Amino acid sequence: MTWKRICGTTDVAENSIKKFNVDGVPILLVNYGAGYRAIPPICPHMEEPLEESGVVVRCILTCTKHLWAWNLSTLELQGETEKPLKTYDVKQEGDAILVKVEEELKYEFDDESADDDDFFK
């Protein structure tokens, strides 16, 4: 359990998304105005790269490929979205943004070791 510096407070503009590599783990940091979310770099729907397909407006992150969307403040699923976002804990300390990375978060379609029951998760 370790907090790692991912970037500075001025590195990710409001309503934008930036990809970082924290000890080999790819992480998107999303600044939604009221706070930050650190998430895996792909959409849980069809593995679209959210750094490119994602748009953040009024606390809502939308993957513009197939319109799955989440409220970043509450993590509520919006519209027809069927899977939740996974998130890393984030905190701000001084002018640094820190994330807690215990292991890389992956969605089930990435998990080669899982059995077939991963399909619905």
Partner 1 sequence: MKITVQSKTGEAAFDCGIHETILHAGLRQGLSLPYECATGTCGTCRARVVSGEVDVRWKEAPGGARLKPEKGDILMCQTRALSDCVLKVPSDIVVVEKFQPAPRRGIIRNIQKLTKDVAAFDVHLSEPMTFEAGQFVIVESDKWAGGRAYSMVNFNAEADRIALVIKRKPGGRFSDWLFGECSGDAELAVFGPLGRAVFRPDEDKNILCIAGGSGIAGIMSILERAVQADYFRTHKGSVFFGVRTLQDTFYLEALSRYVAASHGNLAVTVALSDEAAVTPSHLDFPALQLASGMVHEAAANAMGGSDVDAIAYIAGPPIMVDAAIRVLIRGGMGTRNIRYDKFG
Residue 57 makes contact with partner 1 by CB under 8 A? yes
- Let me know: does 65 contact 46? Beta carbons within 8 Å: yes
* 16-24, 30-38, 65-73, 92-100 -> range binding partner 1 (CB under 8 A): 65-73
Residue nearer to partner 1 on the CB measure, 62 or 87: 62
Please list every residue from 73 through 102 that binds partner 1, using CB under 8 A.
78-80, 82
- Residue 18, H or E segment: strand 16-22
Residue 69 makes contact with partner 1 by CB under 8 A? yes
Cα–Cα dist 60/78, whole Å: 8
Provide, rounded to whole angstroms, the least separation between the CB of residue 51 and partner 1. Answer: 13
Cα–Cα dist 19/40, whole Å: 9
- Let me know: does 105 contact 85? Beta carbons within 8 Å: no
The residues binding partner 1 (CB under 8 A) are 46-47, 53, 55, 57-58, 62, 64-69, 78-80, 82, 109, 116, 119-120
